[in-house]
Structure 1
Amino acid sequence: MNKILDRYAQQKATPVTLRQLLFYERHRTTERLLKSANYVRHELPIRIAHRLREFQNLPFIVGVNPHMQQVYRLYWEAFDRLRSVPPIKTQQDNERFCELLYTSLQAHLVVIPQLALGIQECEQHMNREKRDKFMNSTLRSRISRRVLAEQHLILSNCVMIFQHCSAHRTLGACIEKAHTLYPQIPVIVEDGPDIDFAYVGDHIEYILYQLLLNAMQHANNINHTNNVSSSSSVPIRVTMCTNATDVFFRISDQAGGISPEVYRSIYSFGHHATGNFQHFKTWKATVSDDQQQKQQQKEQEQSVNMPLGMGLPMSKVYAEYWGGDLNIQTLHGWGTDAYVRIPKLGDQLEHLDVEDHASDLHVELDSGSDVTHRRRFVI
């Protein structure tokens, strides 16, 4: 089996852009649907193989951790299933492939909590640099695989996944959700025009929710420390703006800032000082017709709330995945500003941990999507 794994791990992943995926959604035909299916069928085993090799290269004591072993086992089973899928030539072949993708997505919902627990338990066996490099690569690869699988599932059902996001609507939903935990902390959104941009809604929601949650949590703590009533609580301020290529969000608080000791490791996985980890549902079910079952499943998946130190580092992974950025500026003793930059043109390649190269899919998509700029990401 490792010989088979070698064959896939030696191949390079082929990144795509949001605009390329949008092109397939807007110009869906049976031919393009089958082409998408075969691209996903070819690409997923390669991306999983790279992660399996990373797991095999972990220190022995880390690799035998039960949480890490569970993730490794899930990845290996998915790799074995996906590499065995024959070329997809008909709609019926695609339907069977979609069922396989759906099963894998559901089975892998436990991956992030298991990774977080495993990396915490093995913290003393890996230095921070190696631990963060492993987690960044693993999470970035996970995002890439789920984006491809989810996009193809929704493409197969004629529903668009990368709709234009409304900055006001997205931010409002995140504030409302964060207020369920900290209703006493006021949030003021600076007045301004709404901003529409094409993006993966779950990604930007995760980032904004985590930043709001961190700000509210620290504001709540400082209020308790200083015996400040909820009516006198200093508000969190949110600013939105845009330019020709990007959308920007700033979340500002006056919650005492971050100490230099903590600030040095805010993007490090396994540290508890970065706030709560909230597991967002990252796939909108479209395969099953049982709407009640979907809603129950959604509520169950969104109810996981564990202090695993994953909020900020994973938010940074999400922001950087499509070429954006997340920066935290703090004044210890006063407050913190979080800045999020999100590209709005959809012309950035996936930020993978391997060098990209051209493919037949790129050629066709580029010719129809009017992409004039490419950025190469190599880690």
Structure 2
Amino acid sequence: MASEPVARAVAEEVARWGAMRQTGVSLRYMMEFGARPTERTLLLAAQFLHKELPIRIARRALDLESLPFGLSSKPAILKVRDWYVDSFRDIRSFREVRSQEDELAFTQMIKMIRVRHTNVVPTIALGVQQLKKDLGGSKAFPPGIDEIHQFLDRFYLSRIGIRMLIGQHVALHDPDPEPGVIGLINTKMSPMTVARIASEDARAICMREYGSAPDVDIYGDPDFTFPYVTPHLHLMIFELVKNSLRAVQERYMNSDKHAPPVRIIVADGAEDVTIKISDEGGGIPRSGLSRIFTYLYSTAENPPDLDEHNEGVTMAGYGYGIPISRLYARYFGGDLQIISMEGYGTDAYLHLSRLGDSEEPLP
């Protein structure tokens, strides 16, 4: 019983911090601030995070407690909530950051927090999958299910922000950064190179799953670069190409026709860098298009059961690769659009803002 007052005190503090205003940062600000990290700038950054992270983490912990359809009481969701409360407590109990020694200790602590939260996405997906089973599959969702979708959008977008802030701060301590790389930001990222590597990764998975994979053709200027977070772009292109490969592979698997390639076009505009991923995989019916951005829908017939041990990336099935890719695009002011021609194929347009000036969208 002794833990109850403690729990109540923590709950009250979480509620108090969750009501505070978040402060957004832009890609450009992160680049300018981290361009030449000195003891002083790292100290200032740590002081900012010491105030900012508990606000963002508290908001998510509160969000997890008020979900409809009993989702909040699912074991997987409770587990995630405990991670957030633990992390909130860790940061709040950390002394004020005043010296270089404090700053290094603080950096170690937030590094641990990032590790603790590694499996948040699959764990929440597990909770949602448990809910789907309770609701009897995904054929007809009850009214109010939109609220869960909006919560997941908010939650995952906020998680991208928290991981970006922690990852950027930790990466600025790298004693030997690659030239042109500031923390997690590559100031001279080549979208062509990222597209090539992400496509190879997606083809390897398709090969493993089906024994063969369609080709991927990439068009664009190989010398063009712009500042962006390479792993974010890799994740988005990987997800989109993976879906295209699966659609083409399944459409041509038992056909004597040669499977047409997936095409990637990288266009460099004044405001946006746009990456178009086109396939001839048969497209998605118009009635299904709106559903590809919800977390409660997957085109795979029998999604794999998510369990604690399923760490491997499978070809399909959890239904959150596409919605999460759109959040990554939106995080730095871009977007993801999907246009389909049923009976022919699908085009995905990934718009990335190249100005880097848009503030984080803070849910």
Match of 1:64 among 70, 73, 76: 73
The 1-side partners of 2:345 and 2:59 are apart by: 41
Partner of residue 207, structure 1: 236
Amino acid paired to 2:173:
S
1:37-186 equivalences under 5 Å are 37-59=46-68, 61-123=70-132, 124=135, 127-158=144-175, 159=177, 160=182, 161-163=184-186, 164-182=188-206, 183-186=212-215
CA contact (8 A) 1:322 1:349 kept: yes
Amino acid paired to 2:350:
V
Segment drifting more, 303-312 vs 68-77 = 303-312
Q: What is the DSSP-based 3-state SS (H/G/I as helix, E as strand, rest coil) of the residue aligned with 2:205?
A: coil
State yes or no: 1:248 paired with 2:274: yes
Partner of residue 267, structure 1: 293
Once the two structures are superposed, residues 231-262 of structure 1 have per-residue CA deviations (whole angstroms, 9 ceiling, x without a partner) of x1111111111111210100111111001232
Cα shift at 1:109: 0.9
Once the two structures are superposed, residues 56-107 of structure 1 have per-residue CA deviations (whole angstroms, 9 ceiling, x without a partner) of 2113721110111111111111111111112111111111111111111111
Q: What is the DSSP-based 3-state SS (H/G/I as helix, E as strand, rest coil) of the residue aligned with 1:46?
A: helix
Match of 1:188 among 194, 217, 221: 217
Cα shift at 1:197: 1.2
The 2-side partners of 1:143 and 1:129 are apart by: 21
Runs of 4+ more than 6 Å apart: 274-277
Cα shift at 1:166: 0.6
Cα shift at 1:174: 0.6
Give the fraction of aligned pairs with identical amino acids, expressed as a percent. Answer: 29
Q: Which segments of 5 or more consecutive residues in structure 1 lack a partner in the other structure?
A: 278-299, 354-379
RCO greater where, 1 or 2, for CA within 8 Å and sep 6 or more? 1
Q: Which segments of 5 or more consecutive residues in structure 2 lack a partner in the other structure?
A: 1-9, 136-141, 207-211, 304-308
Q: 1:245 to 1:153 in 2, by over 3 A?
A: same
Q: 1:275 to 1:43 in 2, by over 3 A?
A: farther
TM-score if structure 2 supplies the norm length? 0.85
Segment drifting more, 122-131 vs 209-218 = 122-131
Q: What is the DSSP-based 3-state SS (H/G/I as helix, E as strand, rest coil) of the residue aligned with 1:81?
A: helix
Number of aligned positions between the proteins: 328
Q: What is the DSSP-based 3-state SS (H/G/I as helix, E as strand, rest coil) of the residue aligned with 1:266?
A: helix
The 2-side partners of 1:57 and 1:208 are apart by: 34
Once the two structures are superposed, residues 130-184 of structure 1 have per-residue CA deviations (whole angstroms, 9 ceiling, x without a partner) of 1110100110111110111011111123532211211111011011101102353
Partner of residue 235, structure 1: 261
Cα shift at 1:26: 1.0
1:208-227 equivalences under 5 Å are 208-225=237-254, 227=255
Partner of residue 282, structure 1: none
The 1-side partners of 2:231 and 2:302 are apart by: 17
Partner of residue 258, structure 1: 284
